Amino acid sequence: MTIDRTAVLGTVTRHLADILEIDVSGISEDSTFSDDLGADSIALIELVDALEQEFSSTLEGFAFDDDELAGLKSVRDAVDYVVRAHGG
Amino acid sequence: MTQGAGLPVAVDAMGGDKAPGEILAGALEAAAAGIPVVLVGPEGLEGRGDLPLIVASEVIEMDDDPAKSIRTKRDSTLVRAAEAVRDGKACAMISAGNTGATMASALLRMGRIKGVQRPAIATPVPVPGGTPTVLLDAGANAEVNPDWLVQFAVMGSVYSRQRYGIEAPKVGLLSIGEEPGKGDTLRKEAWSLLAAEKSLNFIGNVEGRDIMTDAVDVVVTDGFTGNVVLKTLEGTLKTVIKALFGAFADPAYKEHADALLPALLPMYATFDPDNTGGAVLLGIDGVCIISHGSSSARAMVNGIKVAREMVDTDMVGAIRAAIEAMTPEGAEG
């Protein structure tokens, strides 16, 4: 199944804003986790866990591959990963 | 009414080197003493008497990677225990299992108290004849920022006040000398921030030798250093006590040893980690007790009692209020 990219972006930014305790308006698709948002490794694990729980309802067993986590540098990377996993 | 009153403490039945036997024995004893307990373990768990059970089919092992295991073992006892607190089925959780995974489960399922940047592990260090010194962080964050240490100090002060009744706990920054300029960049920056935080009774730098004295009530440091300090203290105490009892075994000193034992045994009990009630993860939006890996039934009983006490005294609410009341950044110290 495919998934709406805009909806995924909204979900990723919503969780990030919640985890980092910042306004969602301060997060864009181009934002990098570390340099732009100041997210550290624990924050990224919080994000990954939240996304896995959220999207396992649309794709059973959805999970990030641990080997690919290091490649997630930006909001766009996370959105791409989720969309790709859903066949987009 | 206290939040969580009447709810049971969730006990990870499969966490620890002596699980499930000693864990169940401790849970049963705590329940017999009047503290409601719910076990989290596999279906058909034997030896639990009539204690209720939350079924979880997986176990996170001591050597499992914390961040990975709590995502891949979503039906583990640790994750289910944290979810029980989150979902209002338990008032607190306790585990003697994988420390990193316990912290990750609590962090990801219960969440942080708003405004808390990182939770920290607070460990009571015994002080002979006095109240324990609260050491934090004892291992949750290997690397820290200076401002995190200020939050650790605030949370540790609340803990010291709530649990030990110390009105204005003396807070010390662990360093290599008492003067403000001593230490690395982290310590120097943290010193200034701690001194500027008006809600703290900051006494400046302290050294390792001060921890087991009444010179200080709360000692803040990074998790790497804190864990090394804790293990060093534990190892040193064990060695000294073993050497002492070895000397007493000498027939030449037996008569004197017998005379001294009534005075020494209570001191020995003070140092026994099974009597401290475990470490507490502060900054989480719920109560989480981390008991040491080789916990006995007695350690679990004491840990469950501390969990209950933290709920009854609303430790989480007190920390939330203290974090909100912190001096705004940039305000005059």
Listing DSSP states for A25-64 in one string gives: GG--TT-BTTTTT---HHHHHHHHHHHHHHHTTTSTT---
Tell whether B71 is within 8 A of chain A (Cβ): yes
Which among B68, B114, B115 is the nearest to A66, CB-wise?
Answer: B68
Catalytic residue among A4, A18, A40, A67: A40
When pLDDT is cut at 50, 70 and 90, the band that residue A32 belongs to is very high
Task: Among A33-47, B112-126, B131-145, B282-296, name the one with the lowest average pLDDT.
Answer: A33-47
The bridge status of strand B53-55 relative to strand B218-220 is: unpaired
| Sign of torsion over alpha carbons B125, B195, B159, A17 | negative
Q: What pTM was computed for the model? A: 0.89
Q: Which of residues 87-146 of B touch A (CB under 8 A)?
A: 104, 107-108, 114-115, 118
Q: Stretch B98-127: mean pLDDT, rounded?
A: 94
Distance CA B254, CA B261 (A): 10
When pLDDT is cut at 50, 70 and 90, the band that residue A69 belongs to is confident
ipTM score for this prediction? 0.74
Query: Which of A44, A49, A55 is the best substitution to test chain B (most B C-beta atoms within 10 A)?
Result: A49
Q: Is the pLDDT of residue B1 over 60?
A: no
Q: Is the pLDDT of residue B244 over 80?
A: yes
Question: B125 pairs with which residues across the strands?
Answer: B133
Q: Is the pLDDT of residue B72 over 90?
A: no
CA B65-A56-B90 angle, to 5 degrees, is: 65
Distance CA B40, CA A44 (A): 28
In this complex, do B70 and A49 lie within 8 Å of one another by their Cβ atoms?
Answer: yes
- Enumerate chain A positions whose Cβ falls within 8 A of a Cβ in B: 21, 42, 45-46, 48-49, 52, 63, 66
Which among B108, B114, B115 is the nearest to A49, CB-wise?
Answer: B108
CA B310-B313-B19 angle, to 5 degrees, is: 15
CA A69 to chain centre: 11
Q: What are phi and psi of B119, to 5 degrees?
A: -70, 160
DSSP code at position B106: I
Rounded (to 5) percent helix, strand, coil in chain B = 45, 15, 40
In this complex, do A52 and B72 lie within 8 Å of one another by their Cβ atoms?
Answer: no
Query: Which of B64, B73, B74, B76 is the best substitution to test chain A (most A C-beta atoms within 10 A)?
Result: B74
Q: Stretch B157-178: mean pLDDT, rounded?
A: 96
Edge-first strand order for the sheet with B120-125 is B53-55, B37-41, B9-12, B92-95, B287-290, B279-282, B120-125, B133-136, B218-220, B170-174, B201-206
Asked about A4 being catalytic, the answer comes back as: no
Instruction: Report CA dihedral (B59, B63, B67, B71) to the nearest 10 degrees.
Output: -30
